[in-house]
Structure 1
């Protein structure tokens, strides 16, 4: 008997399966990179810092929910934006999974022992100077969170069924480094999920659910 499409069980199964198909060029073939081919050559010339974000699916019955943060307005990069918990990979981190779990614990108090990593997405090459690895994970409900007020203003969850519905994937554009840059946006209950975060959500849709 198959699991409901948007359950954490099915998310885990699909995450594991697609992780095995990632190649060195997978990042070029989906999400923001596919919408902005002119930026691919540019970002390849940049010296990027390694970072990781935690895409945590809370096991909420038939419809898992992804955890998002609202960053504080005082941060130097991506201030005030909606993001997945995450940050730079440190020398002491064993791998990107460890980095993503550590950052989630530091930012929102999510106990890393409750995080089950189930796969990765292709790296996201950000024009802000980071090579971001999205780590896909499942978290059981019932955890408690304590926000780091220096980094996070708020934390909230969005149903996977909403995020994986392409009807909710709007597009916009702006000028970046003298050229037009296209991006995804996914407004949800007054919150504007856009930019890198929405681009990562779009890749989840394209690789796991499309």
Structure 2
């Protein structure tokens, strides 16, 4: 990564801006009262590929109970043994895609994202220094792929779509890439980064 690109990223991370949620585009939706939010973290992993800077994404296994087949960052809920949420993101990335935590330079965090499944997700932005050959955990990850950074940080690539959910029409961001339908929390986190990169 060039010094200019790294400076742009750090400037984007430092930009003001609040948390996001799955309810951003659905102002009439009210979460259930008394729900308990659980902490989770994901790794927004950046890596230099021959075609340029890319983001590491996964396609979740179709056998999973929650969000089968969806596109996601590597990550998951915080465990008691995790020192902090950065440790959570790095541990999950190692478990899910075989990424050595020592190969990641953590650049910072993006604002939290609240999901309809009652998680407060902290995105950890990290630069993967070394050559990386993914080793998907077959019970959780069907595929690991690399998406051009310029594609998923261009606000013009994002589309707002909707579907029926719990009796209501729910709107959400999508940022399709080739055969991959990137939507929901993953697309919302990327949209937040895109807005910061373009401001």
Q: Same fold (TM over 0.5)?
A: yes
Contact 1:55 1:135 in 2 (8 A): yes
Contact 1:27 1:33 in 2 (8 A): no
> 5+ residue gaps in structure 1?
none
Point out the more displaced range, 74-83 or 134-143: 134-143
Residues 1:184 and 1:43: Cα distance change in structure 2 (over 3 Å): farther
Contact 1:59 1:141 in 2 (8 A): no
1:38 paired with 2:28, answer: yes
Partner residue in 2 for 1:66? 55
| Aligned match for 2:177, one of 171, 179, 188 | 188
RMSD over equivalenced CA pairs, Å: 2.2
Partner residue in 2 for 1:102? 91
Partner residue in 2 for 1:27? 19
Contact 1:43 1:125 in 2 (8 A): no
Contact 1:117 1:138 in 2 (8 A): yes
Question: In 2, Cα distance between the equivalents of 1:179 and 1:82?
Answer: 23
Shift of 1:165: 1.7
Question: In 2, Cα distance between the equivalents of 1:70 and 1:203?
Answer: 21
1:94-114 superposed Cα distances (whole Å, 9 cap, x missing partner): 111000000000000000111
Shift of 1:13: 1.8
What SS does the corresponding residue of 1:193 show, helix, strand or coil? coil
Residues 1:138 and 1:68: Cα distance change in structure 2 (over 3 Å): same
Question: In 2, Cα distance between the equivalents of 1:115 and 1:54?
Answer: 10
Partner residue in 2 for 1:13? 10
1:162-183 superposed Cα distances (whole Å, 9 cap, x missing partner): 1122221011011223222111
1:72-118 superposed Cα distances (whole Å, 9 cap, x missing partner): 01111111101000001000001110000000000000001111111
1:112 paired with 2:101, answer: yes
Number of equivalenced pairs: 198
Shift of 1:63: 3.6
Question: In 1, Cα distance between the equivalents of 2:67 and 2:74?
Answer: 12
Please identify runs of 4+ aligned residues in structure 1 that moved more than 4 A.
Answer: none
Question: In 1, Cα distance between the equivalents of 2:33 and 2:195?
Answer: 23
Question: In 1, Cα distance between the equivalents of 2:50 and 2:11?
Answer: 17
| Aligned match for 1:158, one of 147, 162, 175 | 147
Residues 1:150 and 1:200: Cα distance change in structure 2 (over 3 Å): same
Contact 2:41 2:88 in 1 (8 A): yes
1:175-206 superposed Cα distances (whole Å, 9 cap, x missing partner): 22322211111111111111111111111112
